[in-house]
Amino acid sequence: MCRLCKSGKASAACPTRRDFLKTSALAGAAASTGIFAGARDARAQDTAARSMPEGLNTPGRRVLLKGGVVLSMDDTVGNLAVGDVLIDGARIVEVAREIEAPDAVVVDATGKIVMPGFIDTHHHQFETALRSYLADGILVDDGIAANAINYYDTILQKFSMVYRPEDVYINELFAGIAQLDAGVTTVMDVSQIHHSPEHSDAAIEGMRDAGRRGVFGYFEGWGDRAQYPQDAARIREQWFSSDDQLLTMVMGGEIYLPGWEESWRIGRELGLPVALHVVGTFGMAPTFDQLAQDGMFSDDNIFIHMTGMSDMAWQAAADAGAHISLAVPIEMQMRHGTPPIQKALDLGISTSLSSDVECTMTADPFTQMRSMMTLQRMFANERALAGESYPGLMRSIDAIRHATLEGARGLKLNSKVGSLTPGKEADIVLLDAEAINVAPLNHAPGAVVTLMERNNVDTVFVAGQVKKWGGQLVGYDVERLRQDLEASRDYLFEAAGVEHDLFRE
């Protein structure tokens, strides 16, 4: 099956996955020769590509980010009201007030906040074609009210069942590019779509072709051809045998599924972190408590949501050094339970932010940071106004830390990314602090968290390579990809027997 033209098999006439992508160096030529389907998108990318300094995306070159507001997220490096960052190939080599590098390509970062790329530790990228479909839905039909259209029954047990490998590919690819546009340079993709080995390979290929750093989360699938969890060994050997690449792997170990013990065993045998959703509304608390009592937690565990769990289990997770991934807007919206922000903070557990499902909520990092900070402060302020003792109010810099360095720690990537530290890889974003919604700049972390949105993401580097420049993605045929995503959406609705009604009640 050709994933792109949907014919019975691939042929020489079929477009390849690489046809979807154009390198930055060719972006201008592509626009001028009509390769791009959308003229407006082509012109914007052409303008952005032509405005890049000569040699900027040449592999192995040195790049000097000059005169920006440096928000390093590394206490040993510090922050600079005006500073420079020097990149050599894929790595950061120096951060200082002023750097002399006459051989480097200079990028004028004046008026920009220069900081590490954002990290999303839990995103179901295969659902991109279903964006906003479940905007008013909740997690499960829990019997409390009429919730026939809910995430588990509608998305996982209806739509996901009809995905083909080509649907997985375009959904994964488009999700990755869209988050690059928002400054998210690293993701853990929780791909509950492994209905066959071909589905698994398509998910990985989509992540790879997006060109950003990613952690492939190998979770469940359904149907006669599903090979989860046994296919993990094949996947690890075929796709993740090297640590010197943008993609790594995590094992899904959902305790609400039969046979979860095997997935934990395989994951740990392969040396992979084990990630799982931990949600009280799914009735997981008794099993989770038992795991805590049996000493099954480790610093290789990533617990997603962590709502409705006992104090004993929380303490066991803290003692084990486990990581918590919170999706605060989703947890509030979809009845997972109250986001346990304060619990994680009080126990000193490494905690990151995640977007979760775009079928319900946006996947931009600014929404995640604002939601975390305002909710934590709401509860603390409520106690203060009642005359009670209250926890410290979260600061903007704290929210940024959860969206960057803590995410890197949770995904075991903090030796590579998460801060502007010399020696780490250059996953860097430049945020426009002179834009109309931010200027004049008075507090850098505050501007990022309380004022900015994806339109403020001016430039994005992943491992030293430019993915967005001057506010425009470069090197991607976005219009053509959008058309293919829409075609996938149309197929999914038809195959699932769901009416595509834009004004459904």
Q: What are phi and psi of 127, to 5 degrees?
A: -95, 10
pLDDT on residue 39: 56
Q: Domain spanning 118-195+205-220+237-410: which CATH class is it, in words? A: alpha beta
pLDDT on residue 21: 41
Radius of gyration of the chain (CA): 22
pLDDT on residue 44: 67
The residues, any chain, with a CB within 8 Å of residue 138's CB and separated by 6 or more, are 147, 150, 151, 333, 334, 335
Q: What are phi and psi of 75, to 5 degrees?
A: -60, -30
Average pLDDT, the chain: 91
Residue (of 132, 76, 37, 152) closest to 362 by Cα position? 132
CA-CA distance, 32 to 416, in Å (whole number)? 38
pLDDT on residue 18: 43
186: left (phi over 0), alpha (psi -120 to 50) or beta: beta
Sheet holding 301-307, edge to edge: 118-123, 184-191, 213-218, 247-252, 274-279, 301-307, 323-326, 351-353
Please give the structure tokens belonging to residue 498: 């769901």
Alpha helices in 348-477 (DSSP H): 365-385, 396-403, 405-410, 444-446
Q: In a structure prediction context, what are the per-residue pLDDT tens digits for the chain, which is 505 residues long?
A: 444 443 434 333 344 444 444 333 333 333 322 323 355 566 666 777 788 898 898 989 999 999 999 999 999 999 999 999 999 999 999 999 999 999 999 999 999 999 999 999 999 999 999 999 999 999 998 888 778 889 999 999 999 999 999 999 999 999 999 999 999 999 999 999 999 999 999 999 999 999 999 999 999 999 999 999 999 999 999 999 988 899 999 999 999 999 999 999 999 999 999 999 999 888 899 999 999 999 999 999 999 999 999 999 999 999 999 999 999 999 999 999 999 999 999 999 999 999 999 999 999 999 999 999 999 999 999 999 999 999 999 999 999 999 999 999 999 999 999 999 999 999 999 999 999 999 999 999 999 999 999 999 999 999 999 999 999 999 999 999 999 999 999 999 999 999 999 998 7
- Between helix 260-269 and helix 232-239 the angle, nearest 10°, is 30
Lookup result for tokens 């989770």: 288
Alpha helices in 275-360 (DSSP H): 285-293, 311-320, 328-333, 341-347
Task: Please report which helix (H) or strand (E) contains residue 189, including its range.
Answer: strand 184-191
Q: In whole angstroms, what separates CA 202 from the centre of its chain?
A: 18
Number of H helices, E strands in the chain: 15, 17
Task: Please report which helix (H) or strand (E) contains residue 96, including its range.
Answer: strand 91-96
Question: What are the residues facing 305 on neighbouring strands?
Answer: 278
In this structure, how many other beta carbons lie within 10 angstroms of the beta carbon of residue 23?
A: 15
C-alpha dihedral (226, 250, 239, 408), degrees to nearest 10: 150
CA-CA distance, 319 to 322, in Å (whole number)? 8
pLDDT on residue 10: 39
- The string over 189-223, giving b where at least 16 C-beta atoms fall within 10 Å of a residue's C-beta and e elsewhere, is bbbbbbbbbbbbbbbbbbbbbbbbbbbbbbbbbee
C-alpha dihedral (190, 195, 196, 199), degrees to nearest 10: -50
C-alpha dihedral (299, 304, 307, 312), degrees to nearest 10: -10
- Between helix 396-403 and helix 365-385 the angle, nearest 10°, is 140
Please give the structure tokens belonging to residue 19: 């046809």
Q: What type of residue sits at position 488?
A: S
Write down the pTM of the prediction.
0.92
Beta strands 213-218 and 457-462: pairing type? unpaired
Question: What are the residues facing 91 on neighbouring strands?
Answer: 88, 425
Q: What are phi and psi of 259, to 5 degrees?
A: 80, 15
CA-CA distance, 403 to 215, in Å (whole number)? 16
| Domain spans in the chain, listed from the N-terminal domain onward | 19-48+475-496, 118-195+205-220+237-410
